[in-house]
Amino acid sequence: MKINKCLFPAAGYGTRFLPATKATPKEMLPILTKPLIQYGVEEAVEAGIRTMAIVTGRGKRAIEDHFDISYELEHQIKGGSKEALLSEIRSLIGQCTFSYTRQIEMRGLGHAILTGETLIGDEPFAVVLADDLCSNGDDGVLKQMMEVYDRYQCSIVAIEEIPLDQTHKYGVIAGDLVDNTNDTYRVTDMVEKPEPKDAPTNMAIIGRYILTPDIFNILRDTKPGKGGEIQITDALLEQAKQGRVIAYKFKGRRFDCGSIDGFVEATNYFYKGSY
Ligand code: UTP
């Protein structure tokens, strides 16, 4: 089955960026002139997706306004040199539909994904965490993952090797290489934010997923885990036990823009690339 929809969980508080995120969604923080979530939507479009489903929360209205026409502004700059600055976002608005639902209580990423069920329905879907900004020319990470999904028809997680002392920040997998590839694993175990001594490997899940819709029923039964939050890693482990999760070591670079270091690194990287 084709992947037609992309879910963007964007309800988190973004406390690491306070006070900037007091009244501005973390997903609207810009790398150069483009907000993080716009990069995510562009990556989904490049992967052939046109239906964007966004899980928001209180104080996140700016996301909806961003993916809408701003008549007054557009009227003001029409015909001038600045009009071109809106061409990318206009093109996205023209090609895609955007729908929204609110997560009322921030009970974790797994809970945010479950909240998105109403927008996704009973079909496989992609998930992008906009604060993980990925860059790989035209062959974006989600596009790469679509090819893996076409082959295996089960849930896919994007992974990256990280320094062992960083495992406490990620979901970490263990798996068996499949089909003589050197980048694709069938997942056998997953642990959310383990201490290095408890980590099965140094292969960490980043903010890109393709999920089969049975994940919703699993999430409904998933108890709060690490940090008292409903963790997508715990739900995925249930699918992994049935051999239905593939981990894919993606090509490209990822910046953790949910952290200040990663945000600054991405800003420098994109700045250098743009001049
Ligand atoms: P983070 O772990 O980065 O949390 O969430 P956060 O609240 O955004 O940021 P900090 O840690 O307070 O600085 C990972 C992703 O999951 C979403 C976030 O919006 C982010 O995209 N999320 C997390 C939700 O949508 N709802 C939640 O309840 C938790």
pLDDT in tens, 34-65: 999 999 999 999 999 999 999 999 889 999 99
Q: For ligand 1, is residue 26 a contact (CB within 6 Å)? A: yes
Closest CA to 168 of 196, 190, 189, 205: 196
Q: Which atom of ligand 1 is nearest to 55's Cα? A: 25
Question: What is the CB-side half-sphere exposure of residue 120 using CA atoms within 13 A?
Answer: 28
Domain that holds residue 82: 5-274
Q: Does any ligand 1 atom lie closer than 6 A to the CB of residue 9?
A: yes
Å from CA of 13 to ligand 1 middle:
6
pLDDT digits (tens, 9 = 90+) for 157-206: 999 999 999 999 999 999 999 977 879 999 999 999 999 999 999 999 99
Model confidence pLDDT, tens digit, residues 216-235: 999 999 999 999 999 999 99
274 pLDDT more than 80: no
CA nearest neighbour of 218 among 205, 192, 236, 240: 236
Task: Report whether residue 109 contacts ligand 1, using a CB cutoff of 6 Å.
Answer: yes
Instruction: Give residue 14 CA to ligand 1 midpoint distance, Å.
Output: 6
Q: Is 11 in the pocket of ligand 1 (CB under 6 A)?
A: yes
Which atom of ligand 1 lies closest to the CA of 129? 21
User: How many angstroms separate the CA atoms of 260 and 210, rounded?
Assistant: 27
Q: Is pLDDT of 255 > 60?
A: yes
Determine the Cα–Cα distance for residues 169 and 200; give it in Å rounded to an integer: 14
Residue 131 CB–ligand 1 contact under 6 Å: yes
Provide the pLDDT for residue 86.
86
Average pLDDT over the chain reads 95
Residue 275 has pLDDT above 60, yes or no: no
112 CA → ligand 1 middle, Å: 9
Q: Tell me, what CATH number does 92's domain have?
A: 3.90.550.10
Ligand 1 pocket check for 12: Cβ under 6 Å: yes
Overall domain count for the chain = 1
DSSP state, residue 242: T
210 lines ligand 1 (CB under 6 A): no
CA of 106 to the centre of ligand 1 (A): 8
**Cβ neighbours, 10 Å, residue 198:** 11
The pLDDT tens digits for 233-242 are 999 999 999 9
Q: Return the ligand 1 atom nearest residue 57 CA.
A: 25
